[in-house]
Chains A and B, each alone.
Chain A
Amino acid sequence: MQIETPEKHDISSLKSSMQVQIGSICCAIKCQDTEALDGLRQRYLDFLTERPADVSIELSGVDQLKADELEEALSETRFIHGENNFRTTSSIISGTYDLARGTIKISGEKNLANPDLPINHLNRLLSLGYYTACKIRYDDKPPAFLVHSCGIIRHGQAMLFAGPSETGKTTVGRLCGNRYGQVINDEMVLVSRLPGDDGRLSVEGVPMLGGLPRRIRTGAPLACIFLLKQSKRTAVRELDRTEAFLRFMRQVITPAYIGQKDKRAVYALIAEFSDAVTGLTPFFELEFKLDRQSLWRAVEETERMLKKRNNKNE
């Protein structure tokens, strides 16, 4: 599908909107509810920008369901997709979109923006906005992919602690504090190839919300990836490429843009990206008993081993 170059939406002068930077992409969020928008502005403070938006998301909220009613409705909700629109079986959310113009309009229950719900719908919305803008700007494939992981910069290099919910990403971030490194995000980061360098990947902070209050808009070359596994002991095991690929691809946030119907293309992108990352980066399984001392001892031992290996290869 060929998509026209979108108009750039410079809405910085409007009070009812803000622009959020996610990697090379800028998403505008428009909302007439100034209180709700102020809340979002506070959450995304470090990522606000005045750049023209690649995609514009217009939100409008209704307040019909209580928190418990919403949770019940969510469990039964199925999406129904039409031509440039979608709705849900439970009527809690609906929307229209125009990819050529780079606009998405979503109307839904206000409580969906509550980050304490079991699924963080704000993160989903931003991820969707990011990949939709990538589709508009880059067409074939996104320049960077969102990965479900806690990103920490140590000694100028980033390491990722990846894994599904409840495996300890936020705990790793908490146990890092300011002493063992700089946590850029404890939930999600962007991973991309460094331009002009075919052998390295870089990691960048994103505004998506995690369990820790601070998210940082900075980046660093990727040193290694730990796949987390909760355990009664702390131990590190290097993974072979196939195991790393199979486990890592589950941590890549599905790169689907709004209205995308070709699911095979989405999984082909995930497979291609995971193949590239596992070919360029050492992967380790980190069994982890949630204590600071053993965690950082294991990480430091891994760093020493990698340094030795790199020196030998040079």
Chain B
Amino acid sequence: MNNRIMKANDLISRQIGSETVVIKDNGLSIHVLNKTAAYIWELCDGTYGVDGITGKICERFEVDSDQANADVRATVDQLLEIGLLNQLEV
């Protein structure tokens, strides 16, 4: 899975304290993202796939790239599942 990834449409997000709250489906579902998930979600602007996002994270933080890739993949999978991200067709 290395298609470019983008935030879903019509979401409302707000930074509340150290967490990011994302409101979906006109308030019917609300999700709270921790700092890491929110950072990954913010990077999903349609420019990168999982590998590109991993690269961005490795540029910013001192992390093992394999571990980072696994974490990004797991987070992206979860965000796709709950509808906060869409995969763009190549």
A47 to chain B, nearest CB (A): 29
User: Which one of B10, B14, B27 contacts A272 once the chains associate, using CB atoms below 8 Å?
Assistant: B14
Q: How far is the CA of A246 from the CA of B17 in the complex (A)?
A: 12
Chain A nearest CB from B45 CB (Å) reads 19
In the complex, residue of chain B having the shortest beta-carbon distance to the beta carbon of A263: B26
The answer to whether A270 has its CB under 8 Å from any CB of chain B is yes
Whole-angstrom CA separation of A246 from B22 in the bound complex: 10
- Contacts of B20-67 to chain A: CB distance below 8 A: 21, 23, 26-27, 30, 32
Contact of A275 with B14 at beta-carbon distance under 8 Å, contacts A242-B19, A242-B32, A245-B21 already known: yes
Contact digits for A7-51, partner B, Cβ 8 Å, 1 yes 0 no: 000000000000000000000000000000000000000000000
Interface of chain B: mostly helix, strand, loop or mixed: strand
Asked if residues B12 and A271 are in contact (CB atoms below 8 Å), the reply is yes
Q: Are B17 and A242 in contact (CB under 8 A)?
A: yes
What's the tally of chain A residues with a CB closer than 8 Å to chain B?
A: 16
Taking a contact as CB atoms under 8 Å apart, the answer to whether B32 and A267 are in contact is no
Q: Which chain A residues in 226-253 approach chain B with CB under 8 Å? A: 240-242, 245-246, 249
- Candidates B10, B21, B27; contact of A242 at CB < 8 Å: B21
Assembly CA distance A264 to B12 (angstroms) = 8
Number of contacting residues on B, CB 8 A? 12
B1 within 8 A of partner (CB): no
**Does B16 lie within 8 Å of A264, measured CB to CB?**
no
Other-chain contact of B16, A241, A266, A268 (Cβ < 8 Å): A241
Contacts of A242 in B (CB 8 A): 16-17, 19, 21, 32
Contact of A271 among B10, B14, B17, B32 (CB under 8 A): B14
Q: Note all chain A residues with C-beta closer than 8 A to B12.
A: 264, 267-268, 271
Within 8 Å by CB of B30, from A240, A246, A272, A275, lies A246
In the complex, chain A residues whose CB is within 8 Å of the CB of B19: 242
* Chain B residues within 8 Å of A185, by CB: none
Q: What are the residues of chain B within 8 A of A111 when measuring CB–CB?
A: none
| Smallest Cβ-Cβ distance to B10: which chain A residue | A264
Chain A residue numbers with a CB within 8 Å of B21 are 242, 245-246, 271
- Is A103's CB within 8 Å of the partner chain B? no
**A241 interface neighbour in B10, B17, B23, B30, Cβ under 8 Å:** B17
